Amino acid sequence: MARRGKKKGRPVSGWVVLDKPVGLGSTEAVSKIKWLFQAEKAGHAGTLDPLASGMLPIALGEATKTVPYVQDGAKVYRFTVAWGEERSTDDLEGPVTKTSEKRPSEDEVGALLPKYTGVIQQVPPQFSAIKIAGERAYDIAREGETVDIPPREVEIARLEIVLHEADRTLFEVECGKGTYVRSLARDMGRDLGCFGHIADLRRTEVYPFTPDDFVTLEELEAAVPPPPAEGEERMPGARFAALDDLLVETLAALESLPQVPVGDDAANRIRLGNPVVIRGRDAPVEADEACITARGRLVAIGAIEQGMFKPKRVFTC
């Protein structure tokens, strides 16, 4: 007896810029969004801890091909450091491992910020997804072992104090890929001699998306109408119309790349994997990466060499 094939989802494509609530894991959030949209495939562009809230860009369908461009984008976080305690997880989840009666002044905290701005060396938290000899660091740490994680180079474009109180400080940071905000809290606390951990963390931006792109789970769930009543007919796709209106188009993820419009004939040749000559006064002659559009829709990503576009990734959306 032949096995039944796995049911496929809809071929919907685009980005859901989710305002993730505290308590929801990134993988769980992706599964929820995939189910709501009945999408064929989905993936996120950068993990956000369950205790953190804010921007979790989730790609659906063809947009999953643009995930690396969002993962590499700058990120902005607002985070509160509670002074006086260091914790095993560098946030509220883990037990207290070190304490201090000292509390830093705003001037002391401000004087430290230049040390954490620019290209710096940073040791990821013990409880992180970094792989050590093939194992995740958090799996080793959960077994009670200390993980020897080598420092990594990360870039902090901006680190500012938003509000300072007696026992905590609210910061805003703009940073590059691979930066651990929990490590910032831990290291600043050690440098100040008072210890510290993350008491609240919210990601507000992931380039090229902004808070204007945010959508909540409540808004998404409200956009899904109930199943049709018995005997009621609906146009194909009508059930998802309001939900699909909340998507950000796939092309928005490629804001950092040159975008070159072409006609329908050239677009069809590119979709078949063929190179085409790029024409137009503003068309680049050379580009390591560029994207081609037709009628405002994304066609392909590729390289331009001597005025010839050579596709690397083709899109059907």
Catalytic site residues? Answer: 49
Q: Exposure of 251 by Cβ count < 10 A (0-12 exposed, 13-18 middle, 19+ buried)?
A: buried
In this structure, the number of other CB atoms found within 10 A of the CB of residue 187 comes to 20
Instruction: Read off the tokens for 3.
Output: 């096995």
Q: What residue ranges in 123-209 does DSSP mark as E strands?
A: 131-132, 135-136, 152-164, 168-175, 196-206
Closest CA to 209 of 148, 168, 252: 252
Closest CA to 270 of 244, 303, 243: 303
Task: Indicate the SS3 state at residue 260.
Answer: strand
Longest distance between any two alpha carbons in the chain, whole Å: 75
DSSP assigned state of 10:
B
Task: Let me know: does 33 contact 15? Beta carbons within 8 Å.
Answer: no
